[in-house]
Amino acid sequence: MNVTVNKEGNDAALKITVPAADVAKGFKTAVQRIANQVKIPGFRPGKAPRPVIEMHYGKEAVKEEAFNVVVNNAYQQALEAENLLPVSDPSVEDEKAAFESFAEGKDLELSIKVTLKPEPELGEYKGLHVDKQEAAVSDEDVDKALDELRNRGAKMVDTDAETVIEKGDFAVIDFAGTVDGEPFSGGEGKGYPLEVGSGSFIPGFEDQLIGLKKGDDTNVDVTFPEEYFVKELAGKEAIFKVHIQGVKHKELPALDDELIAKYTKYKTVAEAREDYKKRMQEAAEADAKTKYENDLLELAVNNAKFEVPTVMVEDRISQMIEQIRLNLEARKMNLQQYLQYTGMDMAKLREAQRADADRNVRMDLVLDQIAKAENLQVDMKDVDAELQAIADQNGARLEDVKTIIRKNNNMGLLLANILRRKAAHVVLDSAK
């Protein structure tokens, strides 16, 4: 078999000449496949001769199967011979003409287009420097965290008739909305306790209640967001007639030992404050470390030169959405409910994942290239440690994890992730 490769960026055109002998083998394989899959009276499975198969299923069916066999075999052999790593499905140019010329006793000329995995031109990835974020937790930060406990014990207290609504107050309202003069589903409520400033209503609604008091009536003019989850209302102007039934203030309890003992495992404010600050400091340091490492890796990626094929980004988006679906199912939700809740369709969801998908693909490609440049290897010790870590994280037995990995054919992904982590350490450990 003769192969020539013409590359343009990440795209490759493969010119393949398949010798007549391989074409003949393809026909033989095709006949055997069909024979194994069909039942022909008078013959055991796989034993019907070619003339009988062609009589029952047609010569054209045999030719189509043989063509697929020959093309697939030729493509795989070409990839192996030229050491090519595709990231897209192959496309046979002028496939109709190629099929028409396909015949036993003749060479087959193929032209196949495919997108290849990029090999980034690495820039500086060792000895990099980025500023480290300071991980400091103030007493004010601790106070804010402890104030959440006060909110848990808060009481709603009625105000007098002259109290005007401020942010943080609860306005008890009756409301009725119209769009183009017509009421709409979900646009009416009675005695609804709305926390002003919470952002739970349509943007602009709550702000128009500030300064009003018990007994007041007003018209609230708003516009539904373009991405509103009810498509019939998206982008529409609405008018709400609102009546203020009453105004309630949130009354927070004192932060004392009694409150602490009621809502936490601690007995005193001092004990809670000390442990809160310790844990918040640890979390801040972990966040700072993560950001520092991410910044270093991003710098290494930005120093490299390469183009990311669109197909790789699209595939990564699909993987990310599949993970979203699995996470939702774990919480007894489905993807359709999520889309309705967020006011998105599938196109918008895919677009929302695009930036992260592109960044993730770029990172993987650069780490793969660093691993290649550094001649990094994965040994069984690395694999065993990774499998044990997965088992520990999920509270599972090591043997069960191994079985699942093998069953789902995820060993290649596992090895790639280990190698990328090693490559990342080359960048991180050499940083200045």
Task: Compute the CA torsion angle 273, 279, 284, 286 (nearest 10 deg).
Answer: 170
Instruction: Give the C-alpha separation, 13 to 6, whole Å.
Output: 5
- Exposed e or buried b per residue across 47-58, where buried means at least 16 C-beta atoms within 10 angstroms of its C-beta: ebebeebbeeee
Residue 198 DSSP code: S
124, 430 contact by CB (below 8 A): no
Instruction: Give the C-alpha separation, 86 to 311, whole Å.
Output: 11
Instruction: Give the C-alpha separation, 137 to 117, whole Å.
Output: 45
Q: What is the pLDDT of residue 123?
A: 97
Instruction: Give the C-alpha separation, 418 to 401, whole Å.
Output: 16
Q: Which residue has the tokens 């404050």?
A: 273
Instruction: Give the C-alpha separation, 211 to 199, whole Å.
Output: 17
Q: What is the pLDDT of residue 180?
A: 92
Instruction: Give the C-alpha separation, 253 to 154, whole Å.
Output: 6
| CB atoms closer than 10 angstroms to residue 3 | 19
Q: What is the pLDDT of residue 53?
A: 84
DSSP string of 57-123, one letter each residue? H-HHHHHHHHHHHHHHHHHHHHHHHHT--BSS--EETTHHHHHHH--TTS-EEEEEEEEBPP--B--
pLDDT by position in tens, the chain (length 432): 899 999 999 999 999 999 999 999 999 999 899 888 878 877 777 788 888 888 888 899 999 999 999 999 999 999 999 999 999 999 999 999 999 999 999 999 999 999 999 999 999 999 999 999 888 899 999 999 998 889 888 888 999 888 999 998 999 999 999 999 999 988 999 999 999 999 889 999 999 999 999 999 999 999 998 878 777 888 999 999 999 999 999 888 999 999 999 999 999 999 999 999 999 999 999 999 999 999 999 999 999 999 999 999 999 999 999 999 988 988 888 898 888 777 788 998 999 999 999 999 999 999 999 999 999 999 989 998 988 998 888 888 888 888 888 888 888 889 999 999 999 999 999 999
Return the closest-CA partner of residue 273 out of 146, 136, 135: 146
Q: What is the pLDDT of residue 152?
A: 86
What domains can you pick out in the chain, each with its CATH number?
A: 2-115 (3.30.70.1050), 155-251 (3.10.50.40), 278-429 (1.10.3120.10)
Q: What is the pLDDT of residue 201?
A: 92
Q: What is the pLDDT of residue 214?
A: 95
Return the closest-CA partner of residue 248 out of 189, 196, 175: 196
Specify the amino acid at residue 59.
K
